Amino acid sequence: MKYRYKARASDGKIDVGVIEANDTRSVVAQIRKKGMLPVSIEEGGGSVKDKDRSSGGSRFSSSEGLFGRLQRIGTVPLKDKAVFFRQLATMVRAGVNLGSSLDILAEQTKNKILTDGISKVKRMVDGGQSLSYSMGKLPVFPPLSISIIQAGEEGGSLDTSLERVADFLERQDALKKKIVSAVTYPAVVMAFSLFVLYLLITVVMPKFATVFTNLKIELPWATRTMFSFGLWMADNWVYFVLSVAGLVAATIFLARWGRTKPFMDRVKLKLPIFGDLIFRAGMARSTRTLASLTHSGIPILQALDMTSRIAGNTVFEGAFKVLERSVRKGAGLGETARNVKLFPPMVAHMLSVGEETGQVDEMLNKVADWFELELDEKIKRLTSILEPLLIVFVGGIVALVALAIFSPIVTAIQEML
């Protein structure tokens, strides 16, 4: 049986031809023996590109309702990206040509943004472009994954590179969920406490204030202050909510604005309790990123530059830039890391060991594993400590309000007796 194939040679050129084989797996094996990367394989004649135009192409350009358009607004979760790369790696390893694999994944992917991205990549791949080049043209796919995939294409191990990208994204997603879980519990309890406090101050206390005023009971200073604040909140709660929303918006703006972001990033790392969590998460993410890049065969200077650009924190970015400049001058990673305040001594030691043994990527992975383990333990301890503290906080608020209300009542009863 004859198969028409399209493959990419080691120099990047596209080779098109016909191979006689029993199945597509044999075709893939023959193409790889020639030192080329399969791009598409079609039984007999015909063009994959034409089939895409006649069948799949119209699927994405058809008109859709408002709900479908709304689904294309937003971002793609890391978990969805990881699943996509994992499935693509499985199909490529099984011998399915790249165009068909992308077509299948575009059909079964539920996220509309990712579906559009996959379909665009497929059209570019069918047009003779490499997978890494096609993904690099779309913001859906992270830059780090593009570099790893490109290294896999050049080394003839695309399936392994795709698996590596999936592993990396899954770890990043797990790390992100750990941080969210650590912040969610205290945030929910605090929000609920403030809501209860709001109801007590704006609904309950004004009624007691009216009763005490009619009874002409002399109120303690604390009670008068709380009643005044409650009456003000009942009439001006809109201004209070807008002030809080404005404060949150201003904080977010300052954290993202180029001129104030370095200062805010430093403040994040110095926050009580949560600063240490942010530091450990940042170290785990950065070292894991550098390990994935170096393990994929990307030059160390390029890997350090990419790690600094996707660190997400200017403090980490500056530290990895220092490493890059020093390595460019011929210095060792471990030696330089010892002089950078951000890196703990353990990180510098592991880097030195990695350089001596030629296993920098493995040492970096061990460092990332250690920081993730420490982050887990820190979150567990934080949760166990915060739970009683939050209970005491909520109880203290309720006790304060109750004392302000019942103190004048007790005083009035004592005067009557």
CATH code of residue 66: 1.20.81
Report d(CA 334, CA 352) in Å as an integer. 4
With a cut of 50, say whether residue 47 has pLDDT above it: no
pLDDT reported for residue 176: 83
Of the three residues 46, 64, 80, the one that is the final residue of a domain is: 46
Q: What is the DSSP string of 58-110?
A: HHHHS---HHHHHTTSS---HHHHHHHHHHHHHHHHTT--HHHHHHHHHHH--
Asked if 333 contacts 360 with a C-beta cutoff of 8 angstroms, the reply is: yes
Question: Do residues 205 and 347 share a domain?
Answer: yes
% of residues, the chain, pLDDT over 90: 9
Question: Do residues 407 and 262 share a domain?
Answer: yes
Question: Do residues 352 and 335 share a domain?
Answer: yes
- Residue 274 sits at the vertex; the CA angle it makes with 270 and 306, to the nearest 5 degrees, is 75
64 dihedral zone (left: phi>0; alpha: psi -120 to 50; beta): beta
Instruction: Identify the three-state secondary structure at position 306.
Output: helix
With a cut of 50, say whether residue 56 has pLDDT above it: no
The tally of domains found in the chain comes to: 3
% of residues, the chain, pLDDT over 70: 87
The enclosing domain of 317 has a CATH number of 1.20.81.30
Domain range holding 103?
Answer: 54-141
Token pair for residue 99? 């165009």
pLDDT reported for residue 246: 94
With a cut of 50, say whether residue 64 has pLDDT above it: no
Question: Do residues 70 and 23 share a domain?
Answer: no
Please report which confidence band the pLDDT of residue 309 belongs to, taking 50, 70 and 90 as the band edges: confident
Question: Do residues 256 and 312 share a domain?
Answer: yes
Question: Do residues 251 and 334 share a domain?
Answer: yes
Instruction: Identify the three-state secondary structure at position 8.
Output: strand
Give helix 274-295 / helix 360-416 axis angle, nearest 10°: 160
Question: Do residues 8 and 96 share a domain?
Answer: no
Q: Is residue 391 part of a domain?
A: yes
Q: Is residue 165 part of a domain?
A: no
What b/e readout covers 369-393, taking b as 16+ CB neighbours within 10 angstroms? Answer: ebbbeebeebbeebeeebeeebeee
Best mean pLDDT range from 46-55, 69-78, 381-390 = 381-390
pLDDT reported for residue 415: 66
Q: Is residue 366 part of a domain?
A: yes
Q: Is residue 220 part of a domain?
A: yes
With a cut of 70, say whether residue 410 has pLDDT above it: yes
Q: Is residue 16 part of a domain?
A: yes
Asked if 105 contacts 88 with a C-beta cutoff of 8 angstroms, the reply is: yes
Q: Is residue 374 part of a domain?
A: yes
7 dihedral zone (left: phi>0; alpha: psi -120 to 50; beta): beta
Question: Do residues 7 and 90 share a domain?
Answer: no
Question: Do residues 276 and 398 share a domain?
Answer: yes
Of the three residues 141, 156, 181, the one that is the final residue of a domain is: 141
Asked if 131 contacts 137 with a C-beta cutoff of 8 angstroms, the reply is: no
Question: Do residues 221 and 136 share a domain?
Answer: no
* Residue range 87-101: mean pLDDT, rounded: 87
Question: Do residues 20 and 85 share a domain?
Answer: no
Per-residue pLDDT reduced to its tens digit, 332-386: 888 889 988 899 998 999 989 988 888 888 899 899 899 988 888 888 888 778 7
Q: Is residue 1 part of a domain?
A: yes
Question: Do residues 231 and 182 share a domain?
Answer: yes
Q: Is residue 361 part of a domain?
A: yes
